[in-house]
Amino acid sequence: MERSEFVAIVAPVAVKVKIDGGVLFPSVSIAQTILETGANIPPYNNLTGYKVGSGRRTPYWDGRSISRSTWEVYDGVRYDNVTALWRVYDSIEDSLKDQALLFLNNRSRYQRVIDAPTPAEQARALQASGYATDPQYANKLIAIMNSGGYAKYDKEAEEGM
């Protein structure tokens, strides 16, 4: 799938989720979904890299999961072929809305993400909160946002709110 095709599918959903009370700027959400999936929609619709975690079901996740290999960075050391359980969703919208619930229901950890006044600061807050172990996570998100010109979706969501 071309990145432009991916964005054409994901961007309207990211805007809708923001308008519906989501946390992430659409530009951050789009960049994150590109980074987490390589701009390909997996059959299990998890575009945000959201692992099973506590396993607590939500209105958007019914408990299904899939085991996949990933890489993580701990204490500055990269570990490849780490097996993890990822949430399986019925739709892209469920994936993005479930992630918003994660942030809203865990304010002590994600308040900086919720309060971030700009997309770049929100990307940095995601990394600082420990959402991902990649020490370059924020820089990668910001580079994707800037190269794609996704700020237009932030304006679209702002106008819709």
Q: Do residues 71 and 58 lie in contact, with contact meaning Cβ atoms separated by under 8 Å?
A: no
Residue 68's DSSP bridge partners are: 84
- The Cα 17–Cα 147 span in angstroms is 23
Residue 109's φ and ψ, nearest 5 degrees, are -90, -40
**Residue from 36, 98, 121, 154 carrying the catalytic annotation:** 98
Long-range (24+ apart) CB contacts under 8 A made by 61-69 are 61/87, 61/88, 61/89, 61/94, 61/98, 62/90, 64/88
**Residue from 2, 5, 62, 72 carrying the catalytic annotation:** 72
Q: What is the DSSP string of 99-128?
A: HHHHHHHTHHHHHHHHH-SSHHHHHHHHHH
Residue 36 bears catalytic tag: no
Residue 98 bears catalytic tag: yes
- The Cα 149–Cα 52 span in angstroms is 31
**Residues classed as catalytic:** 72, 98
